[in-house]
Chains A and B, each alone.
Chain A
Amino acid sequence: MSRLTDLTLLQAASGLRAGEFSARELTQDHFDRIAALDAVLHAYLALTPELAMAQAEAADQRLTRARRSGSNSLPALLGLPIAVKDVLCLEGVPTTCGSRILEGFLPPYTATAVQRLLDQGAVVLGKVNTDEFAMGSSTENSAFGVTHNPWNLNRVPGGSSGGAAAAVAAQLCLAALATDTGGSVRQPAAFCGVTGLKPSYGRVSRYGLIAYGSSLDCIGAMARSAEDLLPVFLGMAGYDPLDSTSLEEGLPAIDLEGDLQGLRIGVPREYFIEGIHAEVERGVRQAVETLVALGAEATPISLPHTDLALPVYYVIAPAEASANLARYDGIRFGPRLGEHELLDQYLQTRGRLFGPEVKRRIMLGTYALSAGYYDAYYGQAQKVRTLIKRDFEAAFEQVDLIACPVAPTTAFAIGAHGDDPLAMYLEDVFTLPANLAGVPGMAFPVGRDSEGLPIGMQLMAPALGEARLFQATHAYQQATHWHEERPPQ
């Protein structure tokens, strides 16, 4: 028999229901695989074996009762092991945001998105690595060490949700909860060859998510296919009175088997620019042809303000971050440094415990919001954001989905961008616009480059159009095998 960690999420769910194995066996096999591989990959920051085995035990009892009574109304994620990005609170479990400034912090409550998956019976294996406060595109900014890409250990897994992407790709969990402020679900999903969803802004409650850029932050998820990802998304989405930005619109039923006949796909010319890797461009264009062969229609479109997304994002996100991260003052949580005087304690605690990228963004945001510069930077960026949002509104008058690369390159080498923040920011150039416009995006593998690294494609839909993303991605994955390829062991 193959290892239980080789199963997809849906296969594992049906195996549990059929009594072929127990949730405890499935969970233990994942911990055994983590013990064997994660010393090298470093996807996990903390494991929660006691909690996980207790959840698995409870799932097994429920499965046994259901088999005896002939009931089949079991929650979708019952007994399925998942990982949680370490920016989401889980009561009593260390939550660091990849930062020394939150070392030792034990959340007093659980994030709504995590709680909903627990309520669906999911088994949480542990917390996975992230760039500090989700600021980065490579997971190199984690204060607790870089995560390695399972396809090539010298490459980054992408970021900021690099731990989640590496864990899903290396079969160290069946799915993972992650977050996306400027591409942090989609870009690592592409670099590690897994399927990742950034939902519409407001679709998933952010109660218990440690805030970075509040007008941009979204909680999403990753799995090894769209059909595996769907129950995770449905399990966590929906209105939450504890988040005033969570949408009241109900979730539609999502039928994966929807037909692509007549689906209009726009291919934006601004996403095939100089600097894009030729193999990435070829992979994405071939994937569009596959969707066309499945019945879709492809049309060239224009999103004329695309090149302004980068400067808009790197004004707005740092401005919001500088306000959100003001709470780390060494008073209510985390370590406190400095002597005697309150001002000195603020300066030392924040100056010595935040890493360089976080300090850079706090300073950038502080400057952009300071007297005399507000209108030129923050005010102007918000107006240009309107132009970017209108680009998408106009495009979605003509097409149902937009197809483009996730990132200009495949996974780059660890250390490649050294101390050049602007070069790192350019990695996000194709993912930032969806966050600025609030629309959902799905990333999934559509090929491999000559070095064997996964190539990702991104589909974007109008706000609340997640169903279309799932249908198109699933149709593509029914016709191709890229999502079934696994990194070398």
Chain B
Amino acid sequence: MTLTLDEVRHIALLARLSLTPEEEQRFQQQLSSILEHASRLSQVDTTAIPPTASVLPLQARLRADSPRPTSNHARILANAPDTDGDCFRIPPVFDAEP
């Protein structure tokens, strides 16, 4: 199992991580060896074995939808690097008007 440099760059973009050229090289080698180790899993016969997503019995837990105090609004906003009134501020996600 060997990842190409292009695959490493593609995964990094999907994961929204900028990597330096040295990091790309190092991760190519390290991720390949970890995936090589993980490829042992493909040799296990799992016919008719159900997946375990959680060790708990999966069931929807319902509770009464009643109002209760929430976290401190001002404290939540104070953690943000950029705010405008009661909003988080980010750069425009659509192209500016011509």
Interface residues of A (CB under 8 A from B): 91-92, 104-109, 201-202, 215, 241, 244-245, 247, 308, 310-312, 314-315, 322, 326, 329-336, 340-343, 345-348, 350-352, 354, 356, 359-360, 362-364, 366-368, 370, 376-377, 379-387, 389, 419, 421-422, 425, 436-438, 463
Q: Which of B75, B76, B80 touches A331 (beta carbons < 8 Å)? A: B80
Measured in the bound complex, the distance between the Cα atoms of B93 and A329 in whole Å is 14
Tell me the nearest residue of chain B to A92, going by C-beta.
Answer: B75
* Chain B at the A interface: SS class: loop
Chain B residues whose CB sits within 8 angstroms of the CB of A421 once the complex forms: 30, 34
Tell me the nearest residue of chain A to B79, going by C-beta.
Answer: A333
Measured in the bound complex, the distance between the Cα atoms of B8 and A91 in whole Å is 39
Q: Enumerate B23-74 residues with CB–CB distance to A below 8 Å.
A: 23, 26-27, 30-31, 33-35, 37-38, 40-42, 44, 46, 49-56, 61, 63, 71-72
CB distance from A273 to the nearest CB of B (A): 15
Tell me the nearest residue of chain B to A368, going by C-beta.
Answer: B38
Given A314-B38, A437-B55, also A108-B76 (CB < 8 A): yes
Q: Which 9 A-B pairs have the closest CB atoms?
A: A438-B55, A351-B18, A382-B51, A108-B75, A383-B46, A347-B18, A336-B81, A333-B79, A108-B71
Residue with the highest number of chain A CB atoms closer than 10 Å, among B34, B53, B80, B82: B34
Measured in the bound complex, the distance between the Cα atoms of B18 and A245 in whole Å is 34
Tell me the nearest residue of chain B to A376, going by C-beta.
Answer: B42
CB distance from A220 to the nearest CB of B (A): 16
Tell me the nearest residue of chain A to B81, going by C-beta.
Answer: A336
Sampled A-B contacts (30; CB under 8 Å)? A91-B75, A105-B79, A106-B79, A202-B55, A215-B54, A215-B55, A244-B61, A245-B56, A314-B34, A314-B37, A329-B16, A332-B88, A333-B79, A333-B80, A342-B90, A348-B18, A356-B23, A360-B31, A363-B8, A363-B12, A363-B15, A380-B46, A384-B41, A386-B46, A387-B44, A419-B26, A422-B30, A437-B55, A438-B55, A438-B56
Q: Once the chains bind, are A350 and B46 in contact (CB under 8 Å)?
A: no
Q: Which of A326, A354, A363, A463 touches B55 (beta carbons < 8 Å)? A: A463
Q: Once the chains bind, are B52 and A308 in contact (CB under 8 Å)?
A: no
Measured in the bound complex, the distance between the Cα atoms of B17 and A421 in whole Å is 19
CB distance from A460 to the nearest CB of B (A): 14
Tell me the nearest residue of chain B to A437, going by C-beta.
Answer: B55
Size bracket of the B interface: 35 or more
Tell me the nearest residue of chain B to A341, going by C-beta.
Answer: B91
Chain B residues whose CB sits within 8 angstroms of the CB of A385 once the complex forms: 51-52
Measured in the bound complex, the distance between the Cα atoms of B76 and A105 in whole Å is 10
Measured in the bound complex, the distance between the Cα atoms of B57 and A202 in whole Å is 11
Chain A residues whose CB sits within 8 angstroms of the CB of B46 once the complex forms: 380, 383-384, 386-387
Given A245-B54, A386-B51, also A312-B31 (CB < 8 A): no
CB distance from B16 to the nearest CB of A (A): 4
In the complex, B19 has a CB within 8 A of chain A: yes
Q: Once the chains bind, are A386 and B15 in contact (CB under 8 Å)?
A: no
Q: Once the chains bind, are B17 and A422 in contact (CB under 8 Å)?
A: no
Q: Which of B26, B41, B72, B91 touches A108 (beta carbons < 8 Å)? A: B72
CB distance from B10 to the nearest CB of A (A): 9
